[in-house]
Structure 1
Amino acid sequence: MILDRLERMPVGSFHYKLLLVTGLGWLFDSMDTGLIAFVLPVLAKEWGLSPEQMGWIGSIGLIGMALGAVISGTLADRIGRKKVFTITVLMYALATGMCALAWSYESLLFFRFLVGFGLGGELPVAATLMSEYAPTKLRGRFIVLLESFWGIGWLVAACISYLIIPQFGWKIAFVIGTLPALYVFLIRLHMPESVRYLISKNKIEEAKEIILDLEKKLHVISKPFEKSLTAAEMGSTNEKTPGPLSLFNSSYMKRTIMLWLAWFGIVYSYYGIFMWLPSIVFQQGFAVVKTFEYVLIMTIAQLPGYYCAAWLVDVIGRKYTLSIFLLMSGVASYFFGNAASPETLLLWGATMSFFNLGAWGVIYTYTPELYPTSIRALGSGWAAGFGRIGGMIAPALVGIMLANQLGIGNVFLMFAGVLIVVSLVVLTMGVETRQRQLEDISFTADLFKIDKDNVESVQ
């Protein structure tokens, strides 16, 4: 079978090149999201924006991300992962450049919506593609490492904001954000279409060509495919592309509900906290340059969080790693909101970044593993899209709370509560997927109950 040969391939240059190509997309996405967070305090001062208006600049991008995730996830199961990935990267890069031309608050909102649409579409598709090529034993590690590029992107955004914005103004940051448009050419040259997607569409010959090419690149002794094999024996499901309602059939309803709630909590807390983080630190009395320094230190803590999560997902599993990281992120959020000195602010801010971004790495690993190929991008896109509703609400809600003088402590108490509840949801409703092939996890869900302690491959 085609998938057997794909699974037997040794980890090599192809896998790391694919990780780099998809990871660069992640980095550029993060850089753009980080730039708007760092631009907000400067823009608010220059345009005289209220906290509510600042909140909406953050929320409008999340509205675009929700629609982008749902539409792109659906399209990726119909026209392919590679095409959708390319289109969405190009869209958000060009829209970011348009933000530099914004002449008013309303025009900036419109351009941020377009940016969000492209960002939301690219992320779940990239994670799906990587999960469909990563070898079973290291799939979790590869996806968390892919997500770690998000932390690097935030570091790039922080450096741009620290070194460039104070000198040249906020518009230059968005001009730099157009660079990913050039990255599209890398995608077209070095990213193959998903073999699993091609098989699900009964495009057997294309899938075989990719396998033979990969075996050649990885120095695997190749042998021709038997032409007498049927499509089913090749690994093809030959299914029609299901619609969104398939996510709620008896096989997938529990995991869909769990994922949607987990995504909602993670996105709600992340964008509510990190879109406001520079502004909140600035409001604590630090100068703009000092604010960027503090947030840069907190951002650096994201990277070891990713790498710790990348190790744990293949040691204790996806479900338990995600639950622990969500819980600790909630605890750190509470203490950050009640920090009484610059030292404790930095300590708890770094701890919060460590666990929150580590949780992001795990959720992107976990989500594609819970659905079959025919609805994998669909399931990932709709879960991410539902999560973006939390991202729409949180930045605007923080602005309203601060405008009504409810205090930073109450804001972070709210985030702590959400994260702890979501941690319990994952712990009680999640199933473990460590060391299982994608087909084992997905297609047999309605045949037996996956025991939480049973991590052996299904025969």
Structure 2
Amino acid sequence: MASAAPAETGRTVTTDIPARLDRLPWTRWHWTIVIGLGTVWILDGLEVTVVGNIAGRLSEPGSGLPITSGEVTGLAAALYVAGACSGALFWGRLTDKWGRKKLFMITLAVYLGATALTAISFDTWWFFLFRFLTGFGIGGEYAAINSAIDELIPAEYRGRVDLMINGSFWLGAVGGSLLSIVALDTAILPKDVGWRLTFALGAVLALVILLVRRHVPESPRWLLIHGRDDEAERIVSSIERQVEAERGEPLARPEGELTIHQRRSVTFLEIARTVFSKYRRRATLGFALFIGQAFLYNAITFGFGAILTTFFDVPTGSTGYYFAVIALGNFMGPLLLGKLFDTVGRRVMISGTYLLSGVLLFGTAWLFGRGVLTAATLTACWCAVLFFASAGASSAYLTVSEVFPMETRAMSIAFFYALGTAAGGISGPLLFADLTGTGRVGDTVLAFQIGAALMCVAGLVASVLAVRAERRSLEDIARPLTAAATATKDRTTGQTAGSRSATA
């Protein structure tokens, strides 16, 4: 839908649009949103997994790049994460200011171009540069996509949908693992061609997603706050017509209205004051969840292939099979446990998944240290750990996207993602590459124990501070900064108009 010129801000608007979005039943339209927005996590999973699995091949003579395996799993991985952190902050601010749709189109285009240029790398500096820029695009996606999804999905389904979408990263990981098997088979592709084609395929998939994403609307919630309530009304009315046509019956009457004072932007000072003063307990929760999951995933995932080759003599061309197995376990966690986050509740499920994954990882470290594991049994242990860890990690994104006010949502996601990932995601791969590179069992056990300890600490924090956000509207969980006193719907007239405006 074409964007209308924003109305003059400074007006007071009473609207039932958030309630109308939340009372919608699940329909094909919602699946369109999931496919159009959620599939980018598949690309992220493809990127991370391919790089980890082809590290050994890139370091071999004849690959076309003068690079070592440690540089791929260490420096290149850290640069990718550093790009994602800086991209999240840069694009996150613009997402709150310019809108969700404009930014999730731009950030995907950045990812597409950087991935395509990675495929033609001719020297290490080029490879490092475009790994950073690929991450820069992906980081912006995290902020823009999570904001848009949570603002478009009904409250009853928000938890499970958010977890499933964030967990779809691991579908990309399965694809990346299997793709790397083909790419590393020199009987099929030359050493200097196969790894390039994996990056090229990522660019092609991004182009397809970009075409699908054109049909995803702007968030009506964002439009309301930024003086574009007429456009918000048109979008929601169109969605309601599609849903009623599909179901063959009228929708239930929405309950509750919201009165807001429209404005175009929120300053950094207001964001900081809101997050660190008014919602400081929620800020502590966000830090704990992101640091725990970021270290576990960015440290261990990047180095899994190296562990297999170093300690179990698994050929580099076969590591993809093992990674495909743990990636599938990762996806099944959010898929099977996601509904419980909406029924059992956020606090129990977030703390439980973090604590269980941490305890199981401690057990894996103990078994690894005793030398009783094989490549297959280590993979089985990791499947058990990551089944729970994946649901927990996905809930970190869900948490920071729903517990802060609408005006700060994208920036809050970006901020916690960047700081948490910087703490665990940049230092993690560098530290883990050094620990596994020594070839000493004790060093790898230590890396496992650090990741397990951080997950357990995050789980304990969540048991105390997690917000009971299940089946609640976003505006009820965290009242918008622009909100005035809640208006009461006029039941005597039966009026269900989308919004009513009055100049303040």
**Quick check: TM above 0.5?**
yes
- After TM superposition, give the deviation of residue 355 of structure 1 in Å: 1.7
What CA distance in whole angstroms lies between the structure 2 residues aligned with 1:282 and 1:396?
18
The residue correspondences of 1:279-428 to structure 2 (distance < 5 A) are 279-284=306-311, 285-337=313-365, 338-339=367-368, 340-342=372-374, 343-389=376-422, 390-404=424-438, 405=440, 407-428=443-464
Aligned pairs for 1:248-259 (under 5 A) are 248-259=275-286
Give the letter aligned to residue 238 of structure 1: Q
Distance 1:377 1:444 in 2: 13
5+ residue gaps in structure 2?
A: 1-15, 482-504
Task: Write the mapping of 1:181-196 to structure 2, written as runs, cut at 5 A.
Answer: 181-188=207-214, 190-196=215-221
Tell me whether 354-363 or 54-63 shows the greater mean CA deviation: 354-363
Cα distance in structure 1, aligned partners of 2:22 and 2:384? 37
The alpha-carbon distance between structure 1 residues 85 and 127, as it changes in their structure 2 partners (threshold 3 A), is same
Q: Which has the larger radius of gyration?
A: 2
2:158 is aligned with 1:151: no
Paired residue type of 1:261: A
In structure 2, what is the Cα distance between the partners aligned to 1:277 and 1:153? 16
State how far apart, in whole Å, the 2-side matches of 1:35 and 1:79 are. 33
Identity between Structure 1 and Structure 2 (%): 25
Separation in 2 of the partners of 1:33 and 1:54?
A: 10
Distance 1:403 1:291, change over 3 A: closer
Provide the rounded CA distance (Å) in 2 between the counterparts of 1:45 and 1:269: 28
Is 1:69–1:117's contact at 8 Å kept on the other side of the alignment? yes
Instruction: Report deviation, 1:53.
Output: 5.9
Q: For 1:218-297, list aligned pairs within 5 A.
A: 218-219=243-244, 235-239=259-263, 240-243=265-268, 244-284=271-311, 285-297=313-325
Closer, same or farther: CA 19–53 of 1 in aligned 2, 3 Å: closer
Aligned to 2:88: 69
C-alpha displacement of 1:41: 2.3
Structure 1 residues 322 and 392, CA gap change in structure 2 (3 angstroms): same
**Letter matched to residue 425 of structure 1:** V
Q: What is the match of residue 40 of structure 1?
A: 55
- Counterpart check, 1:122 vs 2:141: yes
* Deviations, residues 203-257 of structure 1 (Å, cap 9, x unaligned): 111101101111111117889xxxxxxxx97744414424241343432122112
**Does the alignment pair 1:441 with 2:477?**
yes
Instruction: State yes or no: 1:134 paired with 2:160.
Output: no
Deviations 1:66-124 (A, max 9, x none): 01111111111100001111111111121111112222222211110000100111023
Runs of 5+ consecutive residues of structure 1 not aligned to the other structure? 224-231, 446-459
Q: Distance in 1 between matches of 2:417 and 2:21?
A: 28
Aligned partner of residue 22 in structure 1, secondary structure: helix
Query: Once the 2 structures are TM-superposed, how far is the Cα of residue 430 of structure 1 from its aligned partner?
Result: 2.2
Q: TM-score with structure 2 length normalisation?
A: 0.82
Q: Aligned pairs, how many?
A: 437
SS of structure 2 residue aligned to 1:211: helix
SS in 1 for 2:457: helix
Preserved contact between residue 287 and residue 420 of structure 2 (Cα < 8 Å): yes
Q: CA deviation at 1:385?
A: 1.3
Residue in structure 2 matched with residue 165 of structure 1 by the alignment: 184
Shift of 1:431: 2.1
RMSD: 2.3
Instruction: Measure how far apart 1:407 and its partner are.
Output: 2.5
